[in-house]
Every structure is written in structure tokens, then in C-alpha cells.
Amino acid sequence: MGVNSGTGELKQVLLSQPTNVQKGEQLNEIAKKWEISTIDEALVKQEFYRLQTLYTGLGIDVEIATPAETMPHAVFARDLGGCVKEGVILGNFAREIRKSETEFFHSVLETLAIPIIGEITGAGTFEGGDFAFLNEHTIAVGLLDRTNQEGYRQLQEILEPLGYRLHAVPMNPDYLHLDMCFNLVTPDIAIAYSKGLPAPFLELLDELGITLIEGPESEVFTHGYNVQSLGNRQVISLAQNTTINEKMRQKGLTVHEVAITETLKLGGGVHCMTFPLQRL
């Protein structure tokens, strides 16, 4: 049980069913491109089932959470926190409409017998879209719109005694989370909007031997970098992001495309929808 890297073989994930999505709010610059009232909830549910079916077909165990109708953004399960091999660090949502999700996901994890090794509290905020393994012992933490310095400090207090090295990655808050600009797809390859990443982070990636598949800023807002690594040089990516998908294939990756468009109007993609519970 647990997660020991960002690119090991993915064995178990948590997905959260979309609920009452038209009651959501435009919580980020990506979602503001759309009117929430125009979201087709039936289509969002179809897209959720499509992703669930893809995971199941790939032999990945899928746990399903069913949030209350007061939690229209809970479909983005990734944001509940971060998972390491010891267990889960439960986050603290930055936006009021998502605050109740913390207690909900706490209950879900307890039901699944997933250890909770820490929780971000008080003035600290932390969301899982800002949590990225670089290798087994190194974790990048985005400081954008949803995770703040106090949340990062609390993460350090929880994880550094366990032997993890954390690196803060301050970025433009318009990009929402780190996973909208950067995702590791193999132990030594990441896809990224490199111009949006700070120089010290780029230097760290170089030191770790991680090379980048790069693209333009526009890919941030079409969720081009928001892919899900499955391990074994395989990823799930949005079908419409043909350019970035071809670049990954040219590097020898197998790209499993999924047709998701309506859910993107809420401001998140495939990586945002997926909380990893177990990687080997």
C-alpha cells in the first residue's frame, strides 16, 4: 500500500463521482473561460465513467467516492492531499466551497483503511495538484494559487523526518497547480511548460537527470500537461491534445487517449481527477 514515486506501476486509484457540477464556481483562470451554467452534467458523468473504464481495462483497481451535492468540485480527487509510501497527508483546501471535502475524504480514506500520517491545518493550505514526486525521496511542491508557504512548512514538518526532501516551486497563480504545467511521465522524462517554471526548479530537474518534453503556454489552459503516468512508460492523456501526445510517442511512451472535454470546464483534467493510492 502507498505510493513510492510518481512513475512506478499504478495499481490502485481513487476517483470521486461528479455531483451537482452546475453548482460549482469558477475557481481558477482556466474555468473562467466557461460559464458554469453551460456545463452538461450528464456528459461530465459519461466522461467520468469513460476514465473509470479505462483504468479498469488497464488492470488498475478503482475505488469510487460519492460526495454530497454540496461538493461540486470533489470530482478532482487529486486535490485531497498527497500520498507517500507511509500513507496520506490530508490537505487543507484554499477555497471555501471545497472546505467540506476534507472531512469527506478523511472518511473515505478511513473506510479504505488508508493510513493518514498528517494533516495541513490552520492558516496552512495545501492541495494535491501541487504535489509531485521527482524520485523516491524528492518531492516538488507548487506554490501557486492553492498551496501557501505555511502549508509547505507543515508538509516539511510531516515528511522531512521520514527522509523526504521537499522543494518549493513558486509559480504564476494563474496556472492554478503545479500539475497544470509539469508532470513526470517516466523516471527521467517530464512534460512541461518550461517557461512557466522557476530557474532553480529547472536546475534541480537537470541535476536529477530529468529531461523535458516541452510545449507552449496555451497547453496549460487545454490541460495538455495534465497527464497521468501509469508506470512502464505508459500515460493517460486527453485525446484532443494531439501535439503533446505525439511528442510523448516519439519518446517511446504508450499514450492511452481518453475523450474528456466537458469536465475541463470545471478547471481540471485527468491528473486532477485521479488520486493515486498504490504504486509499486
CB 191 within 8 A of CB 6: no
What pLDDT does residue 149 have?
A: 99
What pLDDT does residue 32 have?
A: 58
What pLDDT does residue 38 have?
A: 76
Residue with cell 488492470: 59
What pLDDT does residue 28 have?
A: 52
The tens digit of pLDDT for each residue in 32-67 reads 555 555 788 999 999 999 999 999 999 999 999 999
Torsion sign across C-alpha atoms 107, 261, 132, 198? negative
Grouping H, G, I as helix, E, B as strand and the rest as coil, residue 132 is strand
Q: Which of 256, 209, 218 is nearest to 60 (CA)?
A: 256
What pLDDT does residue 1 have?
A: 73
Report the distance separating Cα 81 and Cα 88, nearest Å. Answer: 7
What pLDDT does residue 14 have?
A: 99
| Grid cell locating 213 | 518534453
Report the distance separating Cα 219 and Cα 122, nearest Å. Answer: 34
Question: For residues 204-213, b (16+ Cβ closer than 10 Å) or e, as one string?
Answer: bbeeeebebb
What pLDDT does residue 219 have?
A: 93
- Domains of the chain plus CATH, in order, are 10-279 (3.75.10.10)
The bridge status of strand 138-143 relative to strand 131-135 is: antiparallel
Q: Which of 143, 103, 107, 97 is nearest to 124 (CA)?
A: 143
What pLDDT does residue 277 have?
A: 99
Strand arrangement of the beta sheet that strand 228-231 belongs to: 228-231, 234-238, 254-258
- pTM equals 0.95
CB atoms within 10 A of CB 239: 13
Residue with cell 495499481: 11
Q: In the chain, which stretches have pLDDT less than 70?
A: 23-37
Residue with cell 456528459: 43
